[in-house]
Structure 1
Amino acid sequence: MEIDRQGNTMASATTRAAETTRRAGLREWFGLAVLAMAALVIAIDTSVVLLALPSIAVELGGDASQQLWIVDAYGFALAGLLVAFGGLADRLGRRRMAMLGAATVAIASAVAAFAPSPDVLIAARALMGVGAAALTPALYGLLTGMFRDDRQRSVALGIFMTCLMGGMIIGPLVGGVALSSFWWGSVFLIAVPVMALVCAMLPFVVGEGVDNRGDGAGDGDGDGNGKEPRANPHRRRIDAVSVPLSLLAVLPIVFGLKESARVGIQWAPVVAIVLGACFLVAFVRRQQRLADDPHHEPLLDLSMFRRRGFSLVLVSLFLMTMLTGPLMMLNTQYFQLVAGADVLTAGLHTVPPAIVGVVGFVMMPLVARRIRPGFVIGAGLALTVVGLLVMAQISPSTGPWPLILGFSLVSFGAAPLPTLGTNLIIGSVPLEKASSAASTSETSGQLGYALGIAVLGSIVTAVYRSQMTTSSEPGTAAAGAVESLAGAVDLAVSTGDDVLRAASAAAYCSGVQASALVAAVIMAILAVVTAVRLRHIERFER
């Protein structure tokens, strides 16, 4: 049992004792394999489209705005719907929600693979995001129900997070391999057979006993909710107003952040963020009122946020994702536009960080049995600072190795926070609220990533444009060259201007250096704060 400094019990002794009496067996570990497969596909879908976009632009056409939405529609829908689907999964049935999400992802992926136009592809990508939003919190809830023992759950989460986080890293590699042999649509077809297998296997490897449905269903032996038979925790009706309010709160904020990354600080994204913030206030106030409503249940239990460990982990995940998530995109641009690598080679450059990240996700739950999680998380974040400083050494003359080595250190150092932090989050709430708690964690990461693209992307863009504008080299002041690295490379290739290409590469590297240094400073502060504020969390000894 973990207790914070203020005396808040992370989970009651009675609940913990009941939940740890049943250890997971062979069926649960097979079930974890199915859940991990689904998580891997969700993660790959987030980043696989990055390398396919040039081919998609050639085949389908589309303007710059459409190409942007081909990339962003998935994450936009995913981030906006996580909170709503997390709450619904806890009430309507996690297995049911997981199967619905997996089927939606499979169908939308097939449509995306054969999309005849950019608009159809954008719609299919958005539908894939809807399916992923339904699936992700349900997976966490199912996993929590299967693994009641703290030590087993921490190991299971390590494996699960390996697929969820590692999939984002290997997405470009998967895309590079597919594009080197097939057409652009093949990057989306990957999800179809996997999600079909998930739908087929879930009823056999994940029983109703861990599908903590709001109707109180279970397998009749006390396993339905992690304790002996008890009263249904969701007797109150779902509040119909809370679901659209959550969408109106999150979607405009995500849209505003993404538009700010694309066009800078303009009135449209600012209005969207302000509008979302207003709806967020309305959503929070409604959840507070519903907490005491005898007839309707809040979609999100705000009492979770009063636990210091819960809130601190959420903030830390937000900041870490904001500062490290966009690095993969920056690295990919360097590999292709500065180093001149083809799509397959650029994808292969992501393999070392992916392997190191996998090792980190698997190791951290084991380390946390001997060292307190707060210290492990703080040490990991300190290692990410070292990795960011290595990445800051990048230049056109160094080649890609500072980015590969630095991002490998970042991947390993970042592993403890999502693995151990997520375990602390879902372990600090009753089992019947696990999906809702997990949805807040995932939403935090999604918002952090969107904000990171806007912040770090703006730093890179500002430094790049400043250097290109003030460059004394002939030709570097051309509008396309100053606007972006891609524009400069296209112009340099078409005109054979090696001076322009060298100047744009140097300017881009300066931008990456600046963003890495800014991220390193903030991460260093975060490392100290998490180590100090989470030091009270006990080791995973059970």
Structure 2
Amino acid sequence: MTRTDGEVTEGARPAAGARTRAGSPAGPREWLGLAVLAAAALMTAIDTSVVLLALPSIARELHADAVQQLWIVDGYGFVFAGLLIAFGGLADHLGRRRMAMLGATVFGLASLAAAFALSPEMLIAARAVMGVGAAALAPSLYGLLTGLFPDSGQRAIAIGVFMTCLMGGMIIGPVVGGIALSLWWWGAVFLIAVPVMALVLVVFPLLVADVSTAHPHRTGGGVDAVSVPLSLLAVLPIVFGIKEAARSGDAFLAVASLIIGVVFLVVFLRRQRALSRGAGHAPLLDLAMFRHRGVCVVLLTMLLMTMLTGPLMMLDTQYFQAVAGADPLAAGLLTVPPALTGAAGFLTMPLLAKRIRPGLLIAAGLALSAAGLVLMAQITPGTGPWPLVVGFSVVSFGTSALPTLGTNVILGSVPVEQASSAASTQEASGQFGYALGIAVVGSLTTAVYRLLVAGAPGLDAADRHAVSAGIDAALGVADPVARAVAGVAFTSSLQVAALVAAIAMLALAGVTAVRLRHIPAFGAQNDVEN
């Protein structure tokens, strides 16, 4: 498939150094533009995980109950995941730079409001608005990145740098949160994003040009107005249903939400198919991209990989504090080695992919991550945190191949004017994968934990009931025997989750080695062909 680049839109003069010829190399201005894109991505990623560390302080200061704490954590991700498809399509049609600057403005102002929230309700609302800003930013940044780096080899390296910030931000979030909480109050964890977003707004017009968002074969109007609410009615109920199932909430509500979401998803997809065949409005999501070999495999593998490994990061931080007894800052520092190995992988994989087929690199990375998961399973209450630190470092390096190279495969499989829409599917895949992981892996670890607590000797009924609520609740039990039982049960549940994930990752490695073997090394041709 031949990629096409359009002309600059929005009535603005092209930024100096902007390139419209497919495959032309990027210069210093484009790499500076990448730094701005990566900084914005870093802030949205940090906010995904930093709130977990600040939650105890937030709950204490704002007197938030359990349900309010849940929405303080989940509200951001819920809105973010629900709006990705809609904003990805809108960015392609209305202008990615415009959408990114709107997202940065919303995110920065909402972060400011969150930092000075006076009640749980105010913080929940601010977090939801932050999710709106992040959803506008994320696919727009990918689309802008594609326009800056039309050459597939340079684009792979740029994606590696971008992913280093995006994925690394989620891992170092606890470190940032730990430092902020040790020096200031809980609101400081949200203030970090404000100056960065302000810088983005100043620098974007100078360094980052936008390319045409018009579909070259469409002669009708712009984006279909009906598709936007349809996408929301499809995605939001599905995300809510998964999250409701993950927290063992109302089963009827969870199932009903999933059914409603699936029904609207079918309606949405049928409308996109009809729009792609007509001469009127352009579809919000061009389904033709899913006919390209490799795209569906990458999206499904990314969903499953995130589902298997994403919850383990949360379990690790729980072990560091609840079992190993680390304080928030020490627990955050223990996440630094995985962040560093992940960054090394994000930067190394694109260079290797110039000589080695990306499918083989992705498969090898998944197999290596399985070995890291086996190492994580060696954890016991007496080993300390090091099996988790070393094992997850191996996992972070191994799994870096899929998002880095897989994103390049997806973006290289569609015309440049559809890049943000395509990127939104990749982002949504990761978000759905993480939500499913909390539901599936979380249910598995909870079941193992409660089974072991129920069968443990030497506990009275009151302590057994308190400990069975979870490892965090067990910390409030006075009996040291009960706390020890909880530590053993939690560690065992983590071992089971790691081993199950290792087996599944080996299976994924085999599938990707076969299904992605046709994709050539990025240096073998100017772009990925399908």
Bin the TM-score by the shorter chain: over 0.9
1:393 CA displacement: 1.1
Conserved? CA contact 2:213–2:418, under 8 Å: no
* Number of the residue aligned with 1:192: 194
* Number of the residue aligned with 1:490: 476
Counterpart Cα distance in 1 of 2:219 and 2:427: 23
* Number of the residue aligned with 1:464: 449
1:236 CA displacement: 2.8
TM-score, normalisation: structure 2:
0.94
Counterpart Cα distance in 2 of 1:265 and 1:450: 17
1:286 is aligned, of 268, 271, 274, to 271
Correspondence 1:259 to 2:244 = yes
Counterpart Cα distance in 2 of 1:529 and 1:512: 26
Report SS of the residue matched to 1:251.
helix
Q: Deviations over 1:73-122 (max 9, x none)?
A: 11101100000000000000000000000000000000000000001101
* Number of the residue aligned with 1:92: 94
1:19 CA displacement: 4.5
Q: Deviations over 1:212-270 (max 9, x none)?
A: 344x9xxxxxxxxxxxxxx6857433111111111111111111111111116721111
Q: Which amino acid aligns with 2:43?
A: V
Conserved? CA contact 1:338–1:505, under 8 Å: yes
Q: Which amino acid aligns with 1:441?
A: Q
Report SS of the residue matched to 1:244.
helix
Correspondence 1:168 to 2:170 = yes
* Number of the residue aligned with 2:487: 505
The unaligned stretches of length 5 or more in structure 1 are: 1-10, 217-230
1:391 is aligned, of 361, 370, 376, to 376
Conserved? CA contact 1:80–1:254, under 8 Å: yes
Question: Are the structure 2 counterparts of residues 511 and 13 from structure 1 closer, same or farther at C-alpha, using a change threshold of 3 Å?
Answer: closer
Report SS of the residue matched to 2:294.
helix
Conserved? CA contact 2:5–2:212, under 8 Å: no
Q: Deviations over 1:149-200 (max 9, x none)?
A: 1111011010001100110010011100100111000000000000110011
TM-score, normalisation: structure 1:
0.92
Conserved? CA contact 2:5–2:21, under 8 Å: yes
Correspondence 1:276 to 2:278 = no
Q: Which amino acid aligns with 1:29?
A: W
Question: Are the structure 2 counterparts of residues 101 and 502 from structure 1 closer, same or farther at C-alpha, using a change threshold of 3 Å?
Answer: same
Q: Taking every aligned residue pair, what percent have the same amino acid on both sides?
A: 62
* Number of the residue aligned with 1:83: 85
Conserved? CA contact 1:460–1:514, under 8 Å: yes
1:314 CA displacement: 0.5
Correspondence 1:12 to 2:2 = yes
The unaligned stretches of length 5 or more in structure 2 are: 7-18
Conserved? CA contact 2:363–2:512, under 8 Å: yes
2:52 is aligned, of 42, 50, 53, to 50
Q: Which amino acid aligns with 2:123?
A: L
Q: Which amino acid aligns with 1:440?
A: T
Q: Deviations over 1:128-166 (max 9, x none)?
A: 000000000000000000101111101101000110011
Report SS of the residue matched to 2:277.
coil
Conserved? CA contact 1:113–1:184, under 8 Å: yes
1:522 CA displacement: 1.0
What root-mean-square deviation, in Å, do the aligned CA atoms of Structure 1 and Structure 2 show? 1.7
Correspondence 1:514 to 2:496 = yes
Q: Which amino acid aligns with 1:475?
A: D
1:308-457, aligned counterparts within 5 Å? 308-457=293-442
Question: Are the structure 2 counterparts of residues 14 and 326 from structure 1 closer, same or farther at C-alpha, using a change threshold of 3 Å?
Answer: closer
Q: Deviations over 1:474-504 (max 9, x none)?
A: 237532211111111112xxx2x11011100
1:308 CA displacement: 2.1
Conserved? CA contact 2:218–2:282, under 8 Å: no
* Number of the residue aligned with 1:536: 518
Conserved? CA contact 1:95–1:211, under 8 Å: no
Q: Which amino acid aligns with 1:81?
A: L
Question: Are the structure 2 counterparts of residues 28 and 18 from structure 1 closer, same or farther at C-alpha, using a change threshold of 3 Å?
Answer: closer
Conserved? CA contact 1:234–1:297, under 8 Å: no
Counterpart Cα distance in 2 of 1:134 and 1:13: 24
